[in-house]
Structures are given as C-alpha cells and as structure tokens.
Structure 1
Amino acid sequence: MDQSHSNEAAPRKRRRARVACEPCRLRKRKCDSRQPCYTCVEFEYECYYAPLKSKAKSAPGVAQQQESQLAGSPVSSEPAPLAGAAAATGAPTGRNDNQDSQETATEKAYGSSAANARTHMQSLEANSGAAFVRRLGLKIDPYNAPQLHLFAWNAGERLAGCAPGIASRVTTILPQAQMRSLALVFFEKVAIGYGFIDRDVFFERLGTRWQTPEMPDSYDCVLCGVAALGLHFSQRVPPVYEPDLVETAKTLLEQGSLVTPPSINIVTGWVLRVAYLRMTSLPHAAWLASCSLMHVAESANIHLEAPSHTVFDGSSEVIDLDIRRRLWGMAQHLNIWASFDLGRTKITLPGATTKPVSPKAGDYTSQLLGFIPLTEPLHPNKSRSVEELEADMKRVLDDVLEAPPVVMAQVNLMLCIFRRLRAEKSNMINMRMERILELAMKGLRAAENMVASNSPWHHSANVPFQVVCLLLAIDSRASLALLPDAMNVLQEVTNAWNSAVMREAYNTAYLFILLHQRRKEEDAKTLRNVLGMHSTAPAVTTADDSTMQFVGVGDFRQPATDSVEFSWLEDLISDMPSLREFDLEQFLVQDAMQQQDLGMDSSGNYTLL
C-alpha cells in the first residue's frame, strides 16, 4: 500500500499545545499557552512556566515556536523542523511582506478577541453569586470545593412533593372570604416592595368576580397569582389547593399570551407568576418565565410610554401610566437578576421609553426599582470601567434604606459590584471595607426581620449565605469576627423554613468555614516551624511547657520555657526603630487569649470545645 495513502487514512490525533504552564500541567487541564493562560485566569491560579530545556537535536524553529507560545502568540501550523532548516540554510521560505502583515493583523485580532472573551467571561462570573461561591471554594481547597451550584437561591422549592395542580376557575378553588384574606396578606407583605397592582381596582374586581362564578374571566390569573403569594407569606406548609391556583394562573397566562396584543391583566399575571417562581421554584424555571414576561411586555408595548402610531398598534386598552411604569420596572428587575444569577442571557428591548417609577407614601417599590439604572450596565456585554464601578459602589453604600425587601436588594447589588471590583483588583473595596461590612450586617438584620414576620422573600435565604462567603473571601480580622453572627442568621433561616435547599446551604457554609480553618492551621503550623528552625533563643527542656509562671501580665502568666525567648524578642524589638512602640506583653496576652478561645493546647494543636 502506498505510504502517503496510509498516512492520509490514519485518524487525526488531538492537537495539544506544545508548552503548558505548570498549574495546568500538574492539574492536567487544557492550557492555551498564553501568559497568563485562560485556565489560570478562570480559576485564579498563579500562571507560570517551567524553564525551557534545550535539546541537542532540537531545531531552531522549535525553540522559536516555544518562545512565541510563551509570549502568547498562536501556534503555527507549519512543521517546525522544516521552518528551522530553511532559516538555517538561508533558503527562501516562499513568504512575502504582505503575508507577514496579514498574519500580524490576524494575530492582533485574535489576541483582541481572546481578551474581550476573557473580559466577558470575567464579568459574567462576577455577576453570578454561584460562580463566586465556586471560586471561593477553589481558593480555600481546590480538591474539596463544591461544584458550581446556586446555593440558597430561595428558601426552598415550595411545591416539591405536592400533587400536580388542576386548572379550574378561581371561584371553585377557594371562597371569596379566603381570597380577600390572602389578598390582604399580599398587600401588607409583598406589595410594599413589589407594588404593581392598584389596590382599589383589585378589591373592586374581587368583589364582582364571585357574583358570576361560572363565567370565565381573564382577571382570574391575577387573582390566582395574588392568592398564591398570599399563601406563601402566610402558611409555611402549602395547602392542597395551592398547586391548583398556580396551574390555573399558568394555563390562563399561556392562553392569554397568544392574543395580540396581550391585555394588561395578562402582563400583571406574568409578573405575579415570575415573582412566585423566583421565591418558590427552581432557578431555570424562574429565568424562563422571566424571559416570557419580557416578550409579553414587548407585545403589550409596556416598555413604550410615548404613544406610537404604527401598523402594529392594535390595542385600545387604556393603561394607567403609573401601573405601566411599575410593570415594566418589575419585568426588568426579575429578568435581569435571574439572568445574572444563572449566567444566562437577559432580554433587552431596544428603544424603551417608559420612565422610572414615582415614589408613593408607604410604598417602597420605587426604591427597589431605583437600582435598575445601576444594575442594567452590569451586563457582561456592556463595558464598565473600574472608575464607573467604584462610583456605582459609592452610590449603593450611600443610600439609607429601611424596608427589609429593599435593603436585601441593596445588599444583593452591593455584593455584585463587590465581585466585579474584586475581579478588577480595585483598591476601592479596601478603602470602603468598613462600609461594605456594615451594609452586609444590615442585610443580616433584614433577614432576621423576615424570619420573625414570616416573609420568605428569596433574599432572606440568599443574602445570609452570600454574606458568609463574602466574609471568608475578605479574610480579615474584621470580617472573620462577623462570621458567628452571619452563621447564626443562616441557621435561623434554615430552621425557620427547614427545606432541603436551606439545609444544603447551611452545610456548605459550615464546610467552607471548616476548610478555611484547616488552611489557617496549616499556615500557622508552617510559620511555627519556620520560627522554630531559625530561633536563636536557647531551648529550655527542663520545665513542663504547660506550666504557667506569674510574671505580672494581667491575669495571664508567661510560661517559664518562654522567658528566655521573651527577653530575646524584647531585645530584637528594641533594635528595630520602627517597632519600638510595639507592646510585646500585650501582644502575647492577646495571643494567649486567642489560643484559649480556639481550644489550642500546649503543643499548638486545636481541640474541639
């Protein structure tokens, strides 16, 4: 058989980069041979390459190709030995200046495209709390880190284990008195933050609906949505008829969305459905519903406040201007954050002219929707400079808000901007760390308020878990000192709603702290070993290490075995002008107190208290 034919018939092998960085090589990960490579940027590894070892039989072209790969240029598809031989003999290579310039332009375009892709991915991951948790786990312990997952996205899947609902008329599912009672719960607990329904109009429609119970009514989707949210905020265990309410609303919304244009009742029903799914269902289901909501809003021209005159206009329905603005703001709010959390695409409607919501007394919806101008530019497809992100963070920190749902939205936005600034390595987060931690603690107080009032907003679960991760990521004395409070609140939320989702979040937070503690112990052990190897103080072995002698330092006494080291440290500090104001005795007292608090024994090991 012809050898050339056999070579063509041979299966092609997967082409690998000739040079891989050490982190990728050790972890057996794919490496693009750049500096830094994409994998190291994604997982925050320190990207470095081992020194190149020249081989006696290596052609010059191979070495040049390896150097170009380390510099970040793409791999040439030509055989390296042939290129090297041509260069060594001075033979013509068949190339001209135009080809070189074209390849240079291609390389620049490739590099720019790769940089833009990395920036987009960096923003996409920073927007998602799930990606932040994954990165935190990889940083603490790459081998035991949990997989990418949306922990504590809400308080739990409410209808898990319930029988499937059956679509029916709202008048046959529950009596009018109970509908009125659930509506009062909705307007008391939900509408203060999600206010997009006219209360007077609603109760007027509720009063007339039961007068003709057998007649179909498009307003049933609104009644069912309000009733479902009222049940969620009043009964921790769903009643048997709650799935029927949800299924009835879903069926009516799917049917009503086929009408062109959809009515205001259909748009309102979709907002209620997405809000319910955001608090009670799986992330992907809520995101899909939020995308449908945006398309329905577009069909109804909710996003266009100014009157338009086109052949597509077919609705003569009069929509209250304030309600239009609130529905449009709610649709944006729900879709943006669902897409950010999942790393999915959000629906953008170009040419939107609907203005922001005007504030009302006793209603905090305008404050919550007021964050949209700061949230929408965080989309990964939009460039946001560090200076702009820092200005956004300042605005968020300067807002003084009190309503728990709005405070939770404020904290959630702060956490998102913090992750973006952290990815950009901005120094601003260090300068405003005290304010950041203060707002995080305010979010914990809001979560406690929600538990006490049985208001299972989605952020009542999400924010405490994310605050625990924030404190571990900051990893300072100030942040770690707040960990007990954050874990107590997370445990309180877990006990209140006692769902599998909350138990998973609490156990994951506990695992993070445990891994963090082990890493700290290993670091402390390494430092102790270094000090032990390089200490110039004579070893004292005649006394028991655990024996404490009175040396007059408060209630704590310096060990006899440390007396010589203590004197040696005093002499060392006195020889260093920058440390002459350092209070060594107070430092040792605090160290002894911390060792006792942590349960450290005389050999430097930790024990459970």
Structure 2
Amino acid sequence: MSANSAPDSSRIDSTLPPGPARQRSRQACLPCRRRKRKCDGKLPCNVCQGYDYECEYDETFQIATQKRASSPNQLSHQRAPKFSRVDHSTDTSKQDGGPSILPGVLGPSKARYVGRYSSIAFPLYVGLELQATKLPRLHSFAYHTGIRKEPPCAAHSELTERIIWNTARSLIEVYSAIVNPIFGFLDMDSFYTRCEMHWHGQPQDLIFEAMICGVFALASLFKERIDQGTEMWLTLHAKNIIEDSDLSRFPSLEHIAAWILRTLYLRCTGRPHVTWLSSCTIMHLVEATGLHHAPESVIQAGRNDSNDSPTPPALDTINRIAQVANCLHVLIAFEYGRSILAINRRVLEYADYKSRATDLTPQLCRLVAALPTHQHKEDTAVLAQELFSALEKIAENTVDHDFLVLLRTDLVLGIYRRLRVLDAKYHHGHNEKIISAGVVALPAARKLVSQNQPWWNVVGSVFQFVCALIVMDTPSSYEKLVDAMDTLEFIVGHLDTHLAKEALSTARQLVHASLNKKRKGVEVLQRIVGTETPEAATSTQKADQLTQDMVSLSPLLAGQLPFDLDYLWATHFNLPS
C-alpha cells in the first residue's frame, strides 16, 4: 500500500449521467477520454461541469474548442447533468442477499460513499436539477444543530519512541512469514519502505501507525520478540487511533486494513462478541469506501486530481483488502452464529492471484466462497440442501497450510451443527466426510502447536471435533474419538493455559456423560434379558443339573467344559442303571 496512493478516489470511476441526445463531438476532452465517456466537445463540457472536473483538451484543439464553447446559442442549450438511472433488471444485489441498492455517490476528498437517496447527497442532486453554476459539495449539511464543537484528535504518534527500528524490522519479517501468506492483503514491500521512513525522519500518518501496531501485535503473538506489556500497549494504541472520531471522518483503505489487523488479533486472543463487532466494523468501512459496488455503479462527486484508474498493484491491493475483509467477517459470523452483513458481494468474490509464489489467500477465499451466507431462510429444506452442497465443496477443497486444514474442519463442523439443528436427513457418506475432515485436522493441530503458532483454532477445531464424534454416536465416530482426545490432551499439555484446560475438562465430562448414558442402556437390556418365563427357568435348571451330572460321572468330560449344552440336551446317553 503506497504512501501517496489515493485508492479512495481512484477506486471508483464516474458514470456519465444521461442527457439529451447529442451529436458526436470531433474531439473529447482529456478527462472524458481517460474515463471513456461521451463528451459534447464544449469547454467546459457538460460532464466536467457537472462533476467539477478540470476540463481540458489537447493544445492543438483547445483554441477551436474555446470558440465553439463561447457561442451563446450553445450555452443556452447546455443542460446540467443528472444522476444516471438504474436498470433494476440487471441489479445483482438481491441475488447477493442484500436489499436492492441504487448507485451511490463517492466523495473523493473524504473517501466517503453514500447512497444517492441520502440526505447528504440530496443537495448535490438538487443543484444538478437546477443547473446551478456552483454545485453544493457532498457534505452533511444541517446534520445536527452544531451547538457543540467536535472533539479534536486525541491520538498521538508514539510508536517510534517505544520500539527501536531493529525490533520493528524483525517483527515485520515474522508477520511476512507467518500471517501474510494466508491473509495477504498488504503490499509488504511498500509497507516495509514506509515503516523505514517512519523510523528515519519521515513520519507517516496516524492511521498507518495503527496498521504498524496491528502487524507488530500479531507478530509478537507468534514470535515473542517483545514483552506482553508492550504487545498490549500496541493493541490499545491502535484501538485509540482507529476509533478516534476525528480520524474516523475520513475512511480509507488503510483504515480498513488497520481494522482487519485488529480483528485478526481479537480472534486469536479476544471474546467472540467483541470479535464479531470488530468484523462488522470492517464491513461497514467497506461500504463507506464504496468497495462493495462495481465502479460503473458509483458516481464520483467533486474534483478528481489523482489518476483516473489505479495501477495494477494498487488495484490488486484494493481487491485483496475487500476480499480478506469479507472472508474474515463471514468466518467469524458463521462460526459464532451471528448475522452476516448483507451487502453486495458480487465484487467481493474470490479471484486467483498468480503473482505470489507462496500466496495462500485464494485458498482461503475459495473455502469461504463455498459457504451459504443466507442463514435465516424460512424454507428449511432449501437451506439444508445448500448446506449439503457447501459441505461437498468444502470437503473436496485442497489446501496447502495447516491453518487452512483446521479452518476447513471448522467450516465442515459448522455446517454439521446447522444440519443437526435443522434435523436434516443425511446419509452415511456425509458423516464420513465430516469425520475425514476432522481426522486430517488432528496432525495439523499438533504441528502448529509444536511450532508455537497459536492460531485460534489449534484448540477449537479439535475440541469441536470431539463434540461432533460423541454426538454422532456411531462405531466409526467412537473409533476416532481416542485419537481426537489424545490430540486434545497433547495440545493442552503444550499450551498449559486456562482456556485450553477448560476445553479438555469439558470434553472429558462429555465423554463420561456418553458412557453413563450407554451404561443405563445396557442395564435396561440386562433387566430385559434377566426376566425369564417359568418354562425357560425350568429348562435352565435342567441344563444346570445335567452339567453337574456330567461332572460327577466323568472327570475327563468335565475338563472339556464349557461345551454345547443344547447339543447334549438332545443326545440320548446309555447310562448304567
């Protein structure tokens, strides 16, 4: 993520509002040519005037254009542009689970996306309707009474005073080696360059410092290069920055990145409710910056002084941030059983990136993309069918990292829990897929713990697998339960934490509860077998008496006991009188 990039303004292109029919001009102005929009050839043209662009032409054509634009007849017929209309027949937002959304407006100066129908955008719309010479800016006019001043920014740059550059460099290396291959949404080369500048006399902005804190906290979690007190300070310092009301007025890609890093850290160390709230904030920021809409569906208001289209590396970073944000939110909400924010997910679908040799982010996106995000359908049969389909896709996904193996198990078990709640009728093959997904997670969890990589699911995946095996209550599930419990005990012994011990204790309680339930069943069966009819009791007594007679008559025969009494009962013996 480069220091001087402006992804907020270059992410979304403008859309030409419809106007009266016009003839093709001999030459379009430079802004319209860059945007590949129709231009009326005036100076300023109707597009640049409506959106406050700097309208300019090639020098060879500029003089003729100025003469043509100065004609009073042409000026009298010039019409202020309007917002573009929407063809709802092609609207994909309903298919993506969210409400039908009209194209919005993006204010490039503040990177703030709002719906066209919002109170903030309406003054601009009115100005366009009235063909105003000076259009109102995209601003929260009269949002409140203004009787109180807004608090100033309370955060300050302190990071370089707490951590020396050599330590910072080693933490960046840890993050690049462990976290970035899976959640690859940062341009690590650019990140390293800006960090070096930050420590050597060229301070970066506070939001970037929050990003640094998030990277360092995660790196410290996996490799303790700093003490836990400093790690805690990093997380709180980043929180103070990204939650500051003055800084939050200007959402950006870096703001989203800082929240992603905070959410990852919370998922590894925090509570589920707080983590889910943090993931929701990420998605709200995705909406605030307009990343959830395709470029052609957003109107850009105000002047755009930056380049019109992002460079390929910047576009790659934009897509990565949007997709990792979406994946993280869906994972947390799906596991916790909370709502998945219904926004337009068409532009958040996974895409293959072939530029990085060790890049595992596409595998993460493929796993998440297979999940059904509509969790509250009234037709349970349809929902169950979607879950079965997702189970097949996720179980067949190939992944190349132990964390992703555990994550695949988490998703499979999450689907299994939902199917049990729905009381879905699944066949033996589904149980086997679930068990197989859990079995391969056991060595992966052992390996990660042995490498001191405390991903959040090294304990959780194994514990949930134990619970699933117990509740399945089949011979094949109990056969795998021994290895699962051994793995859980190994992990708990290695971690030696309260939460890990608590999970092991709970798993043992469930095993004992299952054993007690089966003992009660056996006792009932024994009572049934022990209740005999008088005829059966007489037969038993006769058989016992015959056995005693055989013992008394033939010691040799007694040495061959036990034998088939039913056979002997039907045999006639010629005994001496």
TM-score (normalised: structure 2): 0.62
Counterpart of 1:362, as a letter, is: T
| Residue 568 to residue 265, structure 1, CA distance change in 2 (3 Å) | farther
Could you tell me which residue of structure 1 aligns to residue 574 of structure 2? none
Aligned residue among 314, 323, 335 for 2:329: 335
Could you tell me which residue of structure 2 aligns to residue 501 of structure 1? 499
| Aligned: 1:228 with 2:217 | yes
| Residue 484 to residue 394, structure 1, CA distance change in 2 (3 Å) | same
Could you tell me which residue of structure 2 aligns to residue 348 of structure 1? 342
Counterpart of 2:369, as a letter, is: P
| Aligned: 1:455 with 2:453 | yes
Contact 2:372 2:387 in 1 (8 A): no
| Residue 424 to residue 358, structure 1, CA distance change in 2 (3 Å) | same
Tell me the number of residue pairs that the alignment of Structure 1 and Structure 2 aligns: 390
CA separation in 2, counterparts of 1:502 and 1:256? Answer: 38
* Deviation for aligned residue 1:313: 7.5
CA separation in 1, counterparts of 2:487 and 2:205? Answer: 46
* Deviation for aligned residue 1:309: 4.2
Counterpart of 2:375, as a letter, is: H
Within 5 A, what are the aligned runs for 1:123-202?
169-202=158-191
| Aligned: 1:369 with 2:358 | no
Within 5 A, what are the aligned runs for 1:465-504?
465-504=463-502
| Residue 203 to residue 400, structure 1, CA distance change in 2 (3 Å) | same
SS at match of 1:392: helix
SS at match of 1:481: helix
* Deviation for aligned residue 1:257: 7.8
CA RMSD, 1 decimal: 3.2
Could you tell me which residue of structure 1 aligns to residue 252 of structure 2? 263
Contact 1:218 1:252 in 2 (8 A): yes
Q: Deviations over 1:393-429 (max 9, x none)?
A: 2212222323112112211111122223334444434
Counterpart of 1:239, as a letter, is: Q
Contact 2:375 2:383 in 1 (8 A): no
| Residue 522 to residue 313, structure 1, CA distance change in 2 (3 Å) | farther
Aligned residue among 537, 540, 544 for 1:538: 540
Aligned residue among 398, 404, 408 for 2:406: 408
Could you tell me which residue of structure 1 aligns to residue 228 of structure 2? 239
* Deviation for aligned residue 1:466: 0.4
Counterpart of 1:219, as a letter, is: F
Counterpart of 1:482, as a letter, is: K
Aligned residue among 316, 322, 325 for 1:322: 316
Q: Deviations over 1:208-231 (max 9, x none)?
A: 111127675431111111100001
Could you tell me which residue of structure 2 aligns to residue 358 of structure 1? 352
Within 5 A, what are the aligned runs for 1:51-90?
none
Q: Deviations over 1:186-209 (max 9, x none)?
A: 111112211111121111112211
Counterpart of 2:322, as a letter, is: W
Contact 1:257 1:266 in 2 (8 A): no
- Can you give the 5+ residue segments of structure 2 that lack an aligned partner in the other structure? 1-154, 549-558, 570-577
Q: 218-227 or 336-345, which moves further after superposition?
A: 336-345
* Deviation for aligned residue 1:433: 2.7
Contact 1:336 1:346 in 2 (8 A): yes
Identity %: 26
| Residue 531 to residue 438, structure 1, CA distance change in 2 (3 Å) | same
* Deviation for aligned residue 1:265: 1.2
Task: Find the structure with the greater CA-based Rg.
Answer: 2
Contact 1:257 1:296 in 2 (8 A): no
Could you tell me which residue of structure 1 aligns to residue 101 of structure 2? none
Counterpart of 1:300, as a letter, is: T
SS at match of 1:310: strand
Counterpart of 1:405, as a letter, is: F
Contact 1:168 1:248 in 2 (8 A): no
Q: 291-300 or 248-257, which moves further after superposition?
A: 248-257
Within 5 A, what are the aligned runs for 1:411-430?
411-430=409-428
| Aligned: 1:380 with 2:369 | no
CA separation in 2, counterparts of 1:266 and 1:233? Answer: 24
CA separation in 2, counterparts of 1:432 and 1:475? Answer: 14
Contact 2:350 2:369 in 1 (8 A): no
Q: 194-203 or 379-388, which moves further after superposition?
A: 379-388
Counterpart of 1:380, as a letter, is: H
Counterpart of 2:540, as a letter, is: P
SS at match of 1:417: helix
CA separation in 1, counterparts of 2:526 and 2:560? Answer: 17
Higher RCO (C-alpha 8 Å, min separation 6): 2
Contact 2:435 2:477 in 1 (8 A): yes
Could you tell me which residue of structure 2 aligns to residue 584 of structure 1? none
CA separation in 2, counterparts of 1:180 and 1:237? Answer: 12
| Residue 264 to residue 216, structure 1, CA distance change in 2 (3 Å) | closer
Q: 188-197 or 533-542, which moves further after superposition?
A: 533-542
| Residue 420 to residue 345, structure 1, CA distance change in 2 (3 Å) | closer
CA separation in 2, counterparts of 1:455 and 1:191? Answer: 14
* Deviation for aligned residue 1:293: 1.2
| Residue 237 to residue 252, structure 1, CA distance change in 2 (3 Å) | closer
CA separation in 1, counterparts of 2:194 and 2:212? Answer: 9
SS at match of 1:375: coil
Aligned residue among 275, 298, 301 for 1:286: 275
Contact 2:340 2:373 in 1 (8 A): no
| Aligned: 1:513 with 2:511 | yes
* Deviation for aligned residue 1:328: 1.7
CA separation in 2, counterparts of 1:244 and 1:495? Answer: 29
CA separation in 1, counterparts of 2:172 and 2:528? Answer: 67
Counterpart of 1:180, as a letter, is: R
CA separation in 1, counterparts of 2:455 and 2:519? Answer: 38
Within 5 A, what are the aligned runs for 1:9-28?
none
| Residue 433 to residue 346, structure 1, CA distance change in 2 (3 Å) | closer
SS at match of 2:229: coil
CA separation in 2, counterparts of 1:471 and 1:172? Answer: 52
| Residue 334 to residue 435, structure 1, CA distance change in 2 (3 Å) | same
Could you tell me which residue of structure 1 aligns to residue 94 of structure 2? none
TM-score (normalised: structure 1): 0.59
